[in-house]
Amino acid sequence: MNSLSVDQQARAAKAYVFQELAKSKQGLEILQDKDFVGRLDIHFIKIFAIFAELYGYRHDCLDQLVDLVTICGKSWLERSPELQKIDQQRESDPQWYMSNQMLGGVCYVDRYAKNLTGIKERIPYFQDLGLTYLHLMPLFLSPQPLNDGGYAVSSYREVQPTLGSMEQLRELASELRKAGISLVLDLVFNHTSNEHRWARKAAEGDPEHSAMYWIFPDRSVPSAFEQTTREIFPDDHSGSFIQLPDGRFVWSTFHHFQWDLNYSNPAVFRAMAAEMLYLANVGVDFFRMDAVAFMWKQMNTDCENLPEVHKLLRAFNALCRIAAPSVLFKSEAIVHPDYVVQYIDRSECQLSYNPLQMALAWEALATRDASMLSQAIERRHNIARDCAWVNYVRSHDDIGWTFSDEDAQELGRNGTNHRKFLNAFFVNRYPGSFARGVPFQDNPKNGDCRISGTTASLAGLESMQDHAIERILLLYSIAMSTGGIPLIYLGDEVGQLNDYSYINDAAKTDDSRWVNRAHYPESRYAERHDPHTIPGKIYAGIRHLIHLRKTTGELAGGRAVGFYTGSPAILGYQRPGPHSTVLCLCNFADSAQWIGRDRFMRMPVEAMDLVSRYMINLRDAGIELRPYQFLWLRY
């Protein structure tokens, strides 16, 4: 830009912004708020530097910043005293989400409880279970009946009327907060639905709104982009673009009704910043940053995980630090592990899904060999300080085998063949498989395929195989103890099975992920207190795990450290605490397995197994683990 340092430029830009703000009554009010200005002083430089890099070539770059700071200031002035109090509390305890008391749950509002009122009525259950974090799947206005489970948003300021109203959402957020539960909502940043006001105007040909999306008059540029982009939902359309009725082409990474926003246009950045801060003021505690990998496009690249995406996220993060300081981000980047970690940073996303651990836990069940999972914990688990993984067993989506081919190769596995094996295993096309999954986006062109299915059905409960319950509990024991926030897909705690009814629904039949998005399993929940029933056994097991997690201080925050067990079927990891360490051992085989005593030579003679409360002698003859048994040894 010019020869001044970024610091000097930022100072000059801030002076300009302040001068412009001082011209209006509202601007003056913003400038008089000492808390706001104090935080702006700290974070302005980040936003300025990113704006200069992304949009500095534009003559109106500084005026864009004035608008942005105005949006932030207005939003802060409108933030309720209740939320400002939370901001203060969390600023003085910035690591609050690292606590071992943290426990997440996720559900669809309509499927789990009909509507927002139904969710409110379930708060006592959530509290009783121990939840401190509730992710409600997208609940905003969206096209009917096709809306990708709500991920096609038509307005970020309106709740889907069948679920309730914005006022009810605000009230729910407040009720949850009183119950000690944070509200997590998706921020679908990458795209809007084709029915969003911006999209409708774009479709009508309005130039200002057309510029909010990636719209091209003919196929030449789209075809050039498609030379290097991936097909994400090939069952919906091939390539990355779809054609509009007027002949133009619009970028749609996912479904044809989800149009990618064009962040190279600063108006899009500003508009989405306003939507984000609006929702922050409704009472959202965590934003799940949906499909972040795709937010920036660059010719001759795969248009995934580009450096600019990180800049955008950092700028959005800085806006929250200024105008809604308690709000945190969770990244949803289901991509190669090298890229997943790049999103995890206190100034970007403080939390991230752990898709590799999730996928490899299933991989280990299929192979009865924990080597890949163990390697991932050793090598891929280490994330920025003060950040946390969100560890899950299943989500509402498919399971994709996102491990690195190089990692697999080191263990003597060919990535492509191994994925083929896993797909065959989990859709029960492999002899001896216990899993009952359904293929998702089976792409014969490149052999890609992913897996749908509930935890219980994939673990063997549907096929009534031995050890299904042990498998479910084994996987949840890992999510509860490897470090970060464990996330329960609600219904899993009573062994929810696949729901094949989606096949008869024209709006869902082409999307097999609906098999694992079942309705509230009424009868299973009714049986949960009866230990003789299957739901009762699973529920008791999960409750026990929750209790153990919440009473084991070593599990707070941090991360798992690998422990070599010498037995491929047994996963080992340690959770060091300030005064003691917990060593977790998990047997992935359906037969008993041994760890020789030599592995414990540097440890005390005896350790307490927190799971069974028995003292275990580590020196006798080593340890035998029953099929799918896990031990948490404190020493």
Active site (catalytic) residues: 290, 332
Q: How far is the CB of 467 from ligand GLC (least distance, A)?
A: 30
**At which residue do the structure tokens 């064009």 appear?**
262
Contact 68, 47 (CB under 8 A): yes
Single out the residue of 149, 239, 576, 622 in contact with ligand GLC (rule: CB under 6 A).
Answer: 149
Q: Which is nearer to ligand GLC, 151 or 296 (CB)?
A: 151
Single out the residue of 66, 131, 272, 291 in contact with ligand GLC (rule: CB under 6 A).
Answer: 291
Q: Does 610 bind ligand GLC (CB under 6 A)?
A: no
Q: How far is the CB of 281 from ligand GLC (least distance, A)?
A: 24
- Stated length of the chain: 635
Single out the residue of 44, 151, 392, 426 in contact with ligand GLC (rule: CB under 6 A).
Answer: 151
Residue span binding ligand GLC (CB under 6 A) among the ranges 29-37, 147-155, 450-458, 500-508: 147-155
Q: Which is nearer to ligand GLC, 252 or 593 (CB)?
A: 252
Residue span binding ligand GLC (CB under 6 A) among the ranges 39-47, 146-154, 383-391, 624-632: 146-154
Angle at 373 between CA 372 and CA 375, to 5 degrees: 65
Handedness of CA 105, 111, 112, 114 (dihedral sign): positive
Tell me how far apart the alpha carbons of residues 69 and 75 are, in angstroms, rounded to a whole number.
Answer: 10
Measure Cα distances from 484 to 90, 99, 176, 351 in Å. 18, 8, 21, 8
587 Cβ neighbours under 8 A, 6+ residues apart = 474, 569, 570, 593, 625, 626, 627, 628, 629, 630
Q: Which two tokens stand for residue 449?
A: 């395929």
Q: Does 254 bind ligand GLC (CB under 6 A)?
A: yes
| Contact track, ligand GLC, 320-339, x by CB under 6 A | ------------x-------
Q: What are residue 140's DSSP bridge partners?
A: 159
Tell me how far apart the alpha carbons of residues 233 and 30 are, in angstroms, rounded to a whole number.
Answer: 45
Alpha helices per DSSP H over 518-576 = 522-526, 534-550
Residue span binding ligand GLC (CB under 6 A) among the ranges 144-152, 385-393, 453-461, 624-632: 144-152
Q: Among residue numbers 342 through 381, which ones bind ligand GLC (CB under 6 A)? A: none
Q: How far is the CB of 190 from ligand GLC (least distance, A)?
A: 7
Angle at 504 between CA 520 and CA 149, to 5 degrees: 55
Q: How far is the CB of 191 from ligand GLC (least distance, A)?
A: 7
CA atoms within 13 A on the CB side of 50: 25
Contact 188, 234 (CB under 8 A): no
Q: What are residue 438's DSSP bridge partners?
A: 452
Single out the residue of 67, 148, 285, 609 in contact with ligand GLC (rule: CB under 6 A).
Answer: 148
Q: Does 304 bind ligand GLC (CB under 6 A)?
A: no
Q: How far is the CB of 252 from ligand GLC (least distance, A)?
A: 10
Q: Which is nearer to ligand GLC, 173 or 261 (CB)?
A: 261
Single out the residue of 87, 110, 290, 470 in contact with ligand GLC (rule: CB under 6 A).
Answer: 290
Q: Measured at CB, which residue is nearest to ligand GLC?
A: 151
Q: Does 397 bind ligand GLC (CB under 6 A)?
A: yes
Q: Among residue numbers 178 through 207, which ones bind ligand GLC (CB under 6 A)? A: 188
Q: At what angle do helices 34-55 and 307-323 cross, to 10 degrees?
A: 160
The residues binding ligand GLC (CB under 6 A) are 148-149, 151, 188, 254, 290-291, 332, 397
